[in-house]
Structure 1
Amino acid sequence: MNSSTDMSEKLALESAQRTLDIEIQALETLKARLGRPFAQAVEMLLACEGRAVVTGLGKSGHVARKIAATLASTGTPAFFMHGAEAIHGDLGMITSNDVLIAISYSGTAPELVAVLTYARRMGLPFIAISGHPESELAQAADLHLDVQVEQEACPLNLAPTASTTATMALGDALAVACLEARGFNAEDFARSHPGGALGRRLLTRVRDLMRWGRSLPTVRPDTPIPSALEEMSRKGMGMVIIQDAQGRPTGIFTDGDLRRLLVSRGDVRQLPVSVGMSPNPRTISPDMLAAEAAKHMHDGRLSQMIVVDESGLLLGALHMHDLLAAKIL
């Protein structure tokens, strides 16, 4: 590596460290500044019977969109409304039960001032987030949250950098404070994220994945082993469930049971499946979380588990492949 490359790397790292130092300082200043207005903003959001409508323009608009998404996914209904689109029809999305949060570092964006006028006419609670407490937006709001920074990380002190970091962090703080006040837990979070890994693990029940009805490989205790093997092959679960006349599973017959029976008895073609089955199979409830069922199967080194109701009647069966296909594992 030549000296010019070494110098380029050194300058890049110095620039990155300087940027992070400035933004860390902005967050430290914001932390020290938090007080009663922040607590009042949390109270306002908790009391809201509608949604938090978060609006902004430019870089502040991007931050507003992220804050709205974070609020919505952590138990505070919210949506983003673009400041420019608002005054061209999107104000119709706001209801009298909502809380408006307007983000503008300068606090002078004319579009947001127009939104403020509309909010005042509707009697909406209004929170302004800006870096200028004396601005028109800040002065007219019910609450002002100050995100003023000493300097931007941009060497020209122009591009929003430290200020957008501080604003986004403040939005996170609002969302988390509301989350904790609501007692929002992992299952609540999963309901907002059903397509994610956490949602699948916390919302998917055994009944959602189990095979049932004609997909179940079932035979009677007196079924000849060859017929039981045909049923096993047709249903593709690597086992058959032996079911009594009342519909209760009395045993399970797997490939392993067949091998053991062949070793001990030789010709098994005339034997009933009950001779070689494993009695008293382990069962699970249809309401069990699929992730919990996966743990039972892993701990017991099982590829399948039988699903029964409260009275012990057969409802279905779960195979490890079903868990894999649903991305529970």
Structure 2
Amino acid sequence: MHRRARVAVLISGRGSNMAALLYASRAADAAYDVVLVGSNNPDAEGLKLAAAEGVAVWAHDHRGMSRSAFDDLITNALLEANADYVALAGYMRLLSTEFVNRWAGRLLNIHPSLLPKYKGLDTHARAIDAGDSHGGCSVHIVTPELDDGPVLASIPVAIQQDDTPQTLAARVIHAEHQLYPRALSDYVSRPYNPEWLLEKVRTLALALPQTEESISHGAPAFRAKKGKFFAHFSDRHHGDERIALLVKTSGQDELANLLDADAELYHRPAYYGASDWIGIRLDRRDTDWEHVADWLSKSWRRTAPKSLTKLMDAADEF
């Protein structure tokens, strides 16, 4: 069983989306726990619900403070809660660029439109006035530009002939409550998703010169053209419970040193270990992809034809 992600939720009012996230997290197979509910409004109704459910709460009035100073307070609360991700759920205050950048890739929001349409406010009225057939909601990654980050998921909601912004909003909120927990769960589960992990490895491996992908021993593998395999993707193959990248070391001494240094990260593959290959565990919440890219490059150099490595060495000199 993988460790659940630790999610903090920021609200400003009643917190209905926060409640949807919180109650979804109570399912036995949930991918995350809500570890903190924070607000810029100490009177936010959602804080009472969170506290009643045993969730830590934090609140501070933002009035009279600069945006960056207030966001520093939030960051301190998030760090104290050991939050992995932050979910905005009706948080009605713009965040500083510094805060967004600090939590880049770990900060999500739900917006009441089918993004990229109708960023900002008055989304339902704008959809109705435009004669759209559907409104809806979207979950996206937060970036410094308002409502402009990558969209993770969306749900369309039909606009009826007699709809007002209020009647449409009343239906869209139901869609939001369905969408946000699912999208958040899918997103925080990526570090354990073999398809997502393989795509990350594939992108890094195929960025190396003249590299191609094929199947080796029933698993995706990568090699330089006319060269030997330099990487294998192992999705719990040969009885191993791990999802790992197998790469070539310089020999048994380096392999042994790596195992001694970090037995949680490295392991000797059952099928390849005798041939100087080592496994790097990928199904971890804190996988260092720069480290993975470095290993792919080193392994490529150890197995590629010398004609290719000479070209790469020459390019590195410039």
Q: Which one has a larger percent helix, Structure 1 or Structure 2?
A: 1
Taking structure 1 as the reference length, the TM-score comes to 0.30
- RCO comparison, higher one (Cα < 8 Å, 6+): 1
Q: Please, what TM-score do these two structures have when normalized by structure 2? A: 0.31
Q: Max radius of gyration: which structure?
A: 1
